[in-house]
């Protein structure tokens, strides 16, 4: 069944945390400073090989601005992977990310693989969220924790690969 090799991925999180930059780094290996906020949502896809299987990720990059919040369920419903992103230098964005976790856990989407991602790891000197704290939160809620930098590309491919691998295990 060909369809079983296509998976829907949704990115959620506050505006400015770097969701679009993460997707662009992953799909096109590009990074642009000073990006415009996403309007509504944008779609990109990428094929990759996971556990010797060819899979295609259909990636929905949602807009983090408050006014688009009500659209989110359209994108996370039917997704196999949710990537909830916060900015390691912003406590507010971490709080917002936890709200997304609560919403997804409340909706009880079966078998959803949830990645909890602290982005902008290149700004280590400005970090306000401790790795240990985020990790502990994640183990409590069975989330997969990653720290990434769309700017340097650190851990971006690894994050998508690792979450995709989780799926092929289900």
> Which residues sit at the interface with ligand GTP, rule CB under 6 A?
13, 15-21, 33-35, 37-38, 63-65, 119-120, 122-123, 149-151
62 binds Mg ion (CB under 5 A): no
Whole-angstrom Cα distance, residue 55 to residue 52? 9
Q: How far is the CB of 68 from Mg ion (least distance, A)?
A: 10
Taking the least distance from each CB to Mg ion, the nearer of 55 and 150 is 150
The angle at the Cα of 71, spanning 30 to 95, to the nearest 5 degrees, equals: 75
Dihedrals phi, psi of 147, to nearest 5 degrees: -115, 125
Which position among 9, 13, 20, 148 is part of the footprint of Mg ion (CB under 5 A)? 20
Taking the least distance from each CB to ligand GTP, the nearer of 89 and 164 is 89
Whole-angstrom Cα distance, residue 35 to residue 52? 35
Question: In terms of C-beta density within 10 A (0-12 exposed, 13-18 middle, 19 or more buried), how is residue 58 classed?
Answer: middle
Chain length of the chain: 170
Which position among 25, 26, 38, 93 is part of the footprint of Mg ion (CB under 5 A)? 38
Taking the least distance from each CB to Mg ion, the nearer of 38 and 93 is 38
Can you give the binding site for Mg ion, defined by CB under 5 A? 19-20, 38
């Amino acid at each position: 069944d060909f369809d079983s090799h296509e998976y829907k991925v949704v990115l959620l999180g506050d505006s400015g945390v770097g969701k679009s930059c993460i997707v662009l780094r992953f799909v096109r290996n590009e990074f642009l400073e000073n990006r415009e906020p996403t309007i509504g949502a944008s779609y990109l896809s990428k094929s990759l090989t996971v556990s010797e299987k060819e899979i295609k990720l259909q990636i929905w990059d949602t807009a983090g601005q408050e006014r688009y919040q009500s659209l989110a369920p359209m994108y996370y419903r039917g997704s196999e992977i949710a990537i909830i992103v916060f900015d390691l230098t912003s406590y507010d964005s971490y709080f917002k990310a936890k709200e997304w976790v609560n919403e997804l856990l409340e909706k009880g989407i079966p078998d959803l693989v949830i990645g909890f991602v602290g982005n902008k790891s290149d700004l280590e000197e400005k970090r306000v969220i401790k790795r240990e704290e985020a990790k502990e939160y994640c183990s409590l809620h069975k989330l997969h924790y990653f720290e990434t930098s769309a700017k340097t590309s650190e851990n971006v491919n690894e994050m998508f690969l690792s979450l995709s691998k989780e799926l092929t295990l289900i």
